[in-house]
């Protein structure tokens, strides 16, 4: 049975895959995506072209389509946006537990608990979108150890560590080998 809207199916599947966190700068082979979606390459190319227009994907003439790279400015901007969201969620959540440790794992756990107690659904949804964009970068980098010494504000220290790591992370993303990165043929 033929699909009614192969273009719509391709756009939806690709958008979901991008939101779930493909590595920045990752190659998106049209033929592989079309095969995994059981579509011809035409609707996949059209979908990728639409996503290019939305700024989610870039078309490198002669090379194909790639996820957007992550320059240092974008990474730092996303970290600042996430920090602002988290601070706002903390003011909206009186029942959230206090942050007692400055490690990445403790802060991440605290943010999840904070989201569970936040009463502003639009704020939670917006924060989740930002966290999905940062997730592949955090996986690529791994956890960052807290520096020695007493930290007065664990959250400030957490974001300061990630801002410091942003330069090295952006450089690693630029050097990411498309064959070595984990492109899963059935991501969509």
DSSP string, 7-50: HHHHHHHHHHHHHTTPPTT-EE-HHHHHHHHT--HHHHHHHHHH
Q: Share the mean pLDDT of the chain.
A: 81
Sign of CA dihedral 158, 160, 164, 166: positive
Average pLDDT over residues 124-135: 86
Average pLDDT over residues 15-22: 78
**Of the candidates 32, 51, 50, which has an alpha carbon nearest to the alpha carbon of residue 41?**
32
Least confident of 106-110, 136-140, 168-172, 182-186: 182-186
* Share of residues in the chain with pLDDT > 70 (%): 84
Instruction: Say what the pLDDT of residue 81 is.
Output: 93
Helix (H, G, I), strand (E, B) or coil at 146: coil
Please report the pLDDT score of residue 163 as a whole number.
87
The reported pTM is: 0.66
Q: What is the pLDDT of residue 183?
A: 38
pLDDT band (50, 70, 90) for residue 187:
very low
Residue range 62-115, pLDDT digits in tens: 899 998 877 888 889 999 999 999 999 888 877 777 887 888 888 888 998 888
pLDDT in the model for residue 175: 57
Mean pLDDT of 131-139: 80
What are the start-end ranges of the H helices in 29-103? 30-37, 41-53, 72-92
Structure tokens at 170: 């952006």
Query: Is the four-CA dihedral 102, 74, 133, 139 of positive or negative sign?
Result: negative
Q: Tell me how far CA of residue 90 lies from CA of 39, 44, 99, 126, in angstroms.
A: 45, 41, 11, 14
Are 151 and 103 in contact, with CB atoms under 8 Å apart? no
| Cβ(18)–Cβ(188) below 8 Å | no
Residue 5 has pLDDT above 70, yes or no: yes
Least confident of 26-40, 42-56, 73-87, 125-139: 125-139
Task: Kindly state the average pLDDT of the residues 134-157.
Answer: 70
């Amino acid at each position: 049975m033929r699909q009614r809207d192969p273009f719509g199916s391709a756009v939806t599947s690709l958008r979901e895959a991008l939101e779930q966190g493909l590595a920045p700068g990752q190659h998106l082979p049209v033929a592989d995506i079309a095969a995994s979606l059981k579509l011809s390459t035409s609707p996949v190319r059209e979908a990728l072209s639409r996503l290019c227009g939305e700024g989610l994907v870039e078309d490198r003439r002669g090379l194909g389509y790639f996820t957007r790279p992550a320059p240092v400015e974008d990474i730092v901007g996303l970290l600042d946006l996430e920090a602002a969201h988290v601070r706002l969620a903390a003011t909206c959540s009186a029942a959230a537990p206090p942050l007692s440790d400055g490690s990445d794992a403790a802060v991440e756990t605290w943010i999840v608990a904070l989201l569970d107690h936040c009463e502003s659904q639009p704020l939670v949804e917006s924060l989740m979108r930002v966290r999905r964009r940062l997730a592949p970068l955090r996986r690529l980098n791994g956890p960052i150890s807290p520096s020695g010494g007493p930290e007065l504000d664990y959250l400030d220290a957490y974001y300061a560590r990630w801002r410091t790591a942003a330069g090295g992370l952006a450089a690693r993303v630029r050097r990411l080998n498309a064959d070595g990165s984990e492109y899963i043929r059935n991501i969509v």
